Structure 1
Amino acid sequence: MSGLVKAKKYDYKDSNLALFGSDLERNIKKASAKTETAWANAGKKVGIQVWRIVKFKVAKWPGEDNGKFYSGDSYIILNTYKTPPSDELLYDVHFWIGKYSTQDEYGTAAYKTVELDTLLDDKPVQHREVQGYESDLFKTYFPTITLMKGGANSGFRHVDPKEYVARLLHVKGEKKKVTVKEVKMFRETLSSGDVFILDRGLEIFQWNGSSANKDEKFRALQYIQGLKSDRSGKPKVETLEERTMAQTHKFYTYLPEGGEPLKAPKDSEVKATEKVLLKVSDADGTLDCEEVARGSLSKSMLDSNDAFIVDSGIACYVWIGKGASPDERKKGMEFAHNYLMKTDHPFVPVTVIIEGQHEEEGFRACFS
């Protein structure tokens, strides 16, 4: 009878996992990405392209609807640009998580974002965005961000206006931070400080609160012009001023009583907190994420053989060292997401930075 043999310590290099991160593995992933029909024209020319995740698949989002998002969905946004005088195409790719998007949906968005990055030869800078906490860069892509209730099975375009389900939209903000958000259709929802749009398909009202600002009024007007254009100019539009309109106006008859006033939105402007540096490493054979510094950070703390998470309190960065292992590269964003969910600022934007490539000003500012 043979004696007991001590089990050999597992080493990923003894398996096909050793190919992860290799040229062969990248070629396989790129070939797979090329079979994704949604990526057919991705990154071919300067501009914004948007896709929505529908039942684990990537669906092209119509260009005329860019900036409109369902809170129950997740999306992928690709910004293709050039930096003169160079003619080289550069990219930022974001996956956007709706407030009510499922884990499966935003997980698919994250996975497909990496696939798109691979297809574009790792040139894009990757970002995670969460509804209501979008980065300033993300906001520059769209004149107005519109948030609609529902998800993949909902629809707000190409609907017969006669069959249209009425919606009340809340227009709020100033300058380039004006958002349009669907709210409950009650008279109590109206607030004097903002603008509201009552969209009834063939009849559209713009209700200007007595203290609404000019940016809200202008954005509402732009939005209504878009709606009217989508419906071949058929809707009748009426602009109402709270100060001067009669309480007997038919607008109010469309809004039943019994609702509650809009709650003041929580301040999504996260304040800077003590900076934190975490290391993602599998040097001991197990992939772990641990805090290595807090407070004053120095770039000398970064090691090219590992990945690091840098949390400034108002943004989070995943720094990938040139010599980082395949798992460290792949899991950095996931560890950042999980780490942030345990903080008091879970929804701040997350950006992936590859060592030696473009570093955002916000990232550089994290270090002394």
Structure 2
Amino acid sequence: TNIDKNQKKSHDVHFWLGLKTTQDEAGSAAIFTVQLDDLLNGVPVQHREVEGSESDLFLSYFKGAVRYLEGGVASGFKHVETNAAKPKRLFQVKGAKNIRLRQVELGVSAMNKGDCFILDSDRDVYVWVGPKANRVEKLKAINVANDIRDQDHNGRATVHIVDEFSTLTDQEDFFKKLGSGSPSTVPEQSAAKEDAAFEKADAARVALYRVTDSKGGKLAVEEITQKPLKQDMLKPDDSFILDTGSGLYVWIGKSATQQEKTQSLVKAQDFIKTKKYPAWTPVERIVQNAESAPFKHFFQTWRDGGATGSRLV
């Protein structure tokens, strides 16, 4: 739980899955997390943690180091007061005409010299500009970084631009925050798809699913096939799953039923298994009117407080 300068509380709720967790156990953990979320009036951001791939925020709760125990050991929930950093996130910004943003695995191996990358690391938001990245990508990356600073950190973060002309110290700071690599170890541009091919593949990858029980109380998951995605597709009386191909967002409408709130997170976990995504695939549960900047950028337009603007689609 964090309390900002205006005495407003924010909460982070984590559910942790061991490598030997069964599907039933994972589902139960997700359901309990939703119940806890309800006790906190739907305000918390929920985080899915997997053994060996835990976020920095989760690890910060443990003094010294995390110890993994064998199954069957009794455990309990402890309320943690902390002002710890949010988990680090790395985003790829790529494209020629239609710029796209997607979260990638945290590490230099996910980068390449032909694109721009955004590293969101607590009070620092870095824009790393590949030496072969195009000018449009750079401008869009800076815009997104500014949005992350303003919307996800309430303006209390610094945006750093790191490119081939930056000082050695600035470049070293970026890779230190990233946790691996150096300018010389970033893969070449050839390791990534050409922009046009990337845009085509990425457009097909992003999918929006409606989770609803409006038809006789039976839960159904329906894909929204219309493209591009628009904000008004998100109906307040339902829940939705946004599959970006590199991560999942679970969006909860303010009038969603209890079943929709609970089962949408379970369904998101099912996606990871059925689509054979990596175990570390991030799942972020957000509620209506508290969307993160990266989530908004998957929609063509987004209106915040009476203002509307174009997004990365």
TM-score range, shorter chain: 0.3 to 0.5
Q: What TM-score do the two structures reach when normalised by structure 1?
A: 0.41
Higher relative contact order (CA 8 A, sep 6+): 2
Q: What TM-score do the two structures reach when normalised by structure 2?
A: 0.48
